[in-house]
Structure 1
């Protein structure tokens, strides 16, 4: 594929992605987040979906260093949304779980996101949705693979 065509595709992708991400962020912020940022909500979402995860897993998932993720976790702990649980066999291991309050915030967020996004998905066929997600997953996997290659 020639360079100009790639440049045009990237431009289209950026416009679509940034618009969609901005809208989802706005709806979550407006309808759900009372006292947390979108980044904190994403961390809370991951912790709720994957109980007993650890800070290093979150740092990898978010692509940030452990100290940055630790600061975000601390804010969620202070707000009563997340709790740290020490492994009784090895106190160095700390697992993260959402609290009841955190699960309520997560559920409210998920409901609002589904309500908002489903209104647009109904305009697409199942095949179009599947194709879109397959391509997006392929791009994501390719990016993750290249990042792993750069770390070595």
Structure 2
């Protein structure tokens, strides 16, 4: 493969990925009152359980001040709660509320519906090859991120 072909494949991949994410992102959150980053926080809390804001900032690779603003919005919408750690009352943990769990499930269901719809254009063998290839690219990206795997939710 020549450099020109690699560049073309890279550009085509980037454009296709951008188009897909641009389409799926807003659609999955529509009418549920959460943004993409807020959904990611809900997902992290679901997987990690209650945790400190600094842990969420670390998982999202943002500054603690940025995560505080997002958490404030989620608290005001009743999706997460701040609570004192039972082991150390000085520590404040962020946890999901029941409403937060419901919104998380609704977004996940909507996302599943949207992705399934978009993948329906592929034949079963094409879908299998696509998923295998995409997983391989994702694994490579995970393994090569500055020489160490990135911790994600």
Q: What is the TM-score with the length of structure 1 in the denominator?
A: 0.80
Question: What pairs up with 1:87-98 in 2 under 5 angstroms?
Answer: 87-98=85-96
- C-alpha displacement of 1:90: 1.7
Question: What pairs up with 1:32-111 in 2 under 5 angstroms?
Answer: 32-33=31-32, 35-111=33-109
Q: Which residue number corresponds to residue 14 of structure 1? A: 14
- C-alpha displacement of 1:37: 1.9
- C-alpha displacement of 1:97: 1.5
Structure 2 CA distance for partners of 1:2 and 1:44, relative to 1, 3 Å: same
Q: Which segments of structure 1 move beyond 4 Å, counting only runs of 4 or more?
A: none
1:24 aligns with 2:28: no
Q: Which residue number corresponds to residue 128 of structure 1? A: 130
Checking the alignment, whether the CA contact within 8 Å between 1:121 and 1:129 is kept in structure 2 is no
Checking the alignment, whether the CA contact within 8 Å between 2:28 and 2:114 is kept in structure 1 is no
Checking the alignment, whether the CA contact within 8 Å between 1:82 and 1:98 is kept in structure 2 is yes
Structure 2 unaligned blocks of 5 or more: none
Aligned residues: 146
**Deviation sequence 1:47-86 (CA, Å, 0-9, x none):** 1232123222221222211110111011101111001222
Task: Return the alpha-carbon distance in structure 1 between the equivalents of residues 45 and 62 of structure 2.
Answer: 16
Task: Return the alpha-carbon distance in structure 1 between the equivalents of residues 133 and 86 of structure 2.
Answer: 46
Task: Return the alpha-carbon distance in structure 2 between the equivalents of residues 4 and 79 of structure 1.
Answer: 49
Task: Return the alpha-carbon distance in structure 2 between the equivalents of residues 13 and 58 of structure 1.
Answer: 30
